[in-house]
Amino acid sequence: MIALTLTQIAHAVGGRLHTAGADTAQTLVGGDVDTDSRQIRPGGIFVAKPGETTDGHLFVDAAVAAGAALAIVERPVEAAVSQIVVPDAVQGLADLARDVVARVRALGRLRVVGITGSNGKTTTKNLLQRILQDEGETVAPRASFNNEVGAPLTMLRVTESTRFLVCEFGASGPGAIAHLAGLVDPDIGIVLMVGMAHAGGFGGIEGTVKAKSELVRAVRTGGLAILNHDDARVASMAAIAAERDIPVRWFGTRDGADVRASGIETDASGTRCTLTVDGQEMPLHLHVLGAHHVMNALAAVTAATALGVAPADAVARIQTVELAERWRMQPLGSDRVRIINDAYNASPDSMAAALRTLAQITGPGERTVAVLGAMSELGEYAGEEHDRIGELAVRLRIQRIVVIGADARRLFLAAVGEGSWDDEAVWFATMDEAYEYLLTELRDGDRVLVKSSNSAGLRFLGDRLGESFS
């Protein structure tokens, strides 16, 4: 974080300052900010956030021992550190992020990009970060820091020399994106797609559309909206941009997109296509597995070129990216048995895309194996969406379907009902049972997809399989 006095920080968060030791109201603090005492470094700021299972106030002493120079708390704590008491620590974190970004913006160099969508946020963020980092100091989220805590923590990493801040905005409910994007007023807002991910929390797909459109409404005056030309729900957000006199740049595979992909071909080495940027054609070889990631690459290139990056430079840089993120289409194992660990997150759209990728990259003499767990946060749609994925796996001729967990059993039953009768589909209650089965079942030439929502925990099974067949 940029250096601020204790008084400036207290004013930003609307809190009461209690100094300790030799500190005064004018003492400068400028270390990293975190809500995890284990991540605190000398000079840092610890935000004592109450949690579901514990309370950050219990760890102030640990943060001080690690070198914290300031604690933001909801009640005073007996600890040898200056403290700022606020009504709500999470809101205080957000207020501090708003203040810091505004101060850096006032220097005239910082440009802010916000990204949202039901799927693809983290991959797009990573691709855009890779492009922009060669242009100047770029701050982007670690992993998927996109919620009410993670997004402000990312924002607070900006410095006076930061040129680009890339923010990923998740939506826990209506108004969440508006709140997070409102902290930074993005210069560019990217909406990737609208799907069934988290639809249960929004009352259906139309609620999801409304939530994602909050980013378009948050783009600052004079900014730019970047929208998916192929997704009718996203395309409808152009009307919101027009109301606000915000221009739109389109990405997609259809005529009319400013940045367009054509001739898409996928194999085990990645995806190849022809990229057209404002009429200029060039080849793109995206090494991140999955044809669906082409759309994420298009969004990243669209944003980068809008920020002044030459299209050829943008393409050359994203072609150096081998992995979107750990546990996202991550190749493991060996050429003998290839494991694709994509179990960090799952929605009906991403599950379908991953299964199609598995089918596309498996060659003659090789066998497709899908290890699938539950998709979370689908609410009343959970049953029918698990049915749909089970049926799709059979229609794609996935040769072995291994389903894990009670919440995913309906996926297994749907696969059986669709025509997977001769032991092609099997179900296990636990990961350990599935692991023991797979150790004896997998053979040379197998291509194995491991896919589930984070809550199902199959990413750890993917890691175990990767080690066993490396």
Splitting the chain (470 residues) into consecutive groups of 10 residues, what average pLDDT does each group show?
97 98 96 95 96 90 97 96 97 98 97 94 95 97 86 96 96 89 98 74 77 96 97 97 98 96 91 94 93 94 98 96 81 92 90 94 93 91 94 95 96 88 85 96 96 93 94
State residue 327's pLDDT score. 76
First-to-last CA distance in the chain?
41
Listed by start position, the domains of the chain span: 4-86, 107-318, 330-468
pLDDT of 320: 94
* Sign of the Cα pseudo-torsion (372, 378, 379, 383, in order): negative
Classify residue 364 as exposed, middle or buried by CB count within 10 Å of its CB (0-12, 13-18, 19+).
exposed
Q: Which token pair is 229?
A: 């030309």
How distant, in Å, are the alpha carbons of 96, 157, 168 from that of 324? 30, 22, 14
Q: ∠ at Cα 123 (275, 449), nearest 5°?
A: 100
What's the CA gap between 176 and 197, in Å, rounded?
Answer: 15
In sequence order, the 6+-apart residues with CB closer than 8 A to the CB of 113 are 128, 164, 165, 166, 167, 186, 187, 188, 189, 190, 303, 307
Q: At 48, phi and psi to the nearest 5? A: -85, 85
CATH of region 330-468: 3.90.190.20
CATH architecture for segment(s) 4-86: 3-Layer(aba) Sandwich (3.40)
Amino acid found at 431: M
Say how far apart CA 171 and CA 385 lie, in whole Å: 20
φ and ψ at residue 197, rounded to 5 degrees: -55, 125
200: left (phi over 0), alpha (psi -120 to 50) or beta: alpha
CA 50 → CA 59, 146, 289, distances in Å?
11, 19, 39
- CATH code of domain 107-318: 3.40.1190.10
Helix (H, G, I), strand (E, B) or coil at 174: coil
CA-based max dimension of the chain: 75
Classify burial at 355, counting beta carbons within 10 Å of its beta carbon; exposed 0-12, middle 13-18, buried 19 or more.
buried
> What residues pair up with 338 in beta bridges, in sequence order?
333, 447
The DSSP call for residue 328 is: B
Alpha-helical runs (H) found in 115-253 = 121-132, 150-155, 176-181, 205-212, 214-218, 232-235, 238-243
DSSP labels, 331-353 = EEE-SSEEEEE--S---HHHHHH
Contact predicate 74/88, CB 8 Å = yes
Q: In whole angstroms, how far apart are CA 428 and each of 112, 244, 344, 375, 400?
A: 46, 52, 20, 16, 14
| Antiparallel, parallel or unpaired: β 280-286 and 270-277 | antiparallel
Q: Is 183 helix (H, G, I), strand (E, B) or coil?
A: coil
Are the CB atoms for 336 and 469 separated by under 8 Å? Answer: yes
Angle between helices 293-306 and 311-318 (to 10 degrees): 140
